[in-house]
A and B are shown apart, each in its own frame.
Chain A
Amino acid sequence: MIIDDNLESTSTQSNIKLPVNLTQEDIEKKVLDLVRLAISSSVTDIPLKREEIKKKVIKDNMRIFPIVFEEAQKILRDTYCMELVEYPARGSTILSINQSNILNSQQQLQQGDAQTIQASQTNSSQVSLKKVSSKKYSTNSYILRNLIPGNLRKGLIFNKEDYQLHGLLIIILCLIYANGNRVKEEIIYKYLEKFGLYKNIKHETFEDVEKHIIQFTQKGYLEKEKTPIPNSEEVTYSYKWGPRALVEFPEKNLLNFIKGFYEKEEQEQIVKELIRSRGIN
Chain B
Amino acid sequence: MDSSQNRNYLNSLFIQAFMAKKILSIEETKTLYSKICDACEVIYSDNSFENFMKEIHNTLIKIDFDIKRIQSKSDGHFFYIWINLINDDFTQLSTQYTQNEIVIFKRILELIMENYSENYQLSSTDAIREISKLKYSFTKKDIEALLKRFQKDRWIMEKEGKYSLDIRSIAELSEYIKKNILNEDELIECPICLDYIFSNVERCSNPDCDYYLHTYCLAIKFGKNSYSKRCPKCKELWDIDENIISGEIEDEDNY
Contacts and interface: CB of A to CB of B under 8 A. Distances in A.
Given A80-B12, A159-B21, 13 more contacts: A40-B92, A44-B94, A44-B95, A79-B11, A79-B12, A79-B59, A114-B5, A117-B5, A148-B12, A152-B40, A156-B32, A157-B17, A157-B20
Given A3-B62, A114-B5, A152-B39, A42 B12 contact: no
The binding surface of chain A is classed by DSSP as: helix
Contacts of A3: 59, 62
A36 interface: yes
Nearest to A43: B94
Contact of B35 (A81, A82, A156): A156
Given A35-B63, A81-B12, A152-B13, A42 B39 contact: no
Contacts, number: 72
28 contacts: A3-B59, A3-B62, A33-B63, A36-B63, A39-B19, A40-B94, A42-B19, A43-B96, A44-B94, A44-B96, A79-B11, A79-B12, A80-B12, A80-B15, A81-B12, A113-B5, A114-B5, A148-B13, A152-B13, A152-B39, A153-B16, A155-B35, A156-B17, A156-B35, A156-B39, A157-B16, A157-B17, A159-B20
Contacts of A45: 96
B13 A156 contact: yes
Interface of B: 1, 4-6, 8-9, 11-13, 15-17, 19-21, 32, 35-36, 39-40, 59, 62-65, 92, 94-96
A83 B40 CA distance: 20
A149 B94 CA distance: 25
Interface string A144-174: 0010110011111111001000000000000
A114 B8 contact: yes
A152 B9 contact: yes
A154 B8 CA distance: 17
The 3 closest A-B pairs by CB, nearest first: A81-B12, A40-B94, A36-B63
A32 B95 CA distance: 20
A146 to B, nearest CB: 7
Interface size class of A (residues with CB under 8 A): 20 to 34
Interface of A: 3, 32-33, 35-36, 39-45, 79-82, 113-114, 117, 146, 148-149, 152-159, 162
Contacts of B5: 113-114, 117
B63 to A, nearest CB: 4
Contacts of B35: 155-156
Contacts of A146: 16
A158 B20 contact: yes
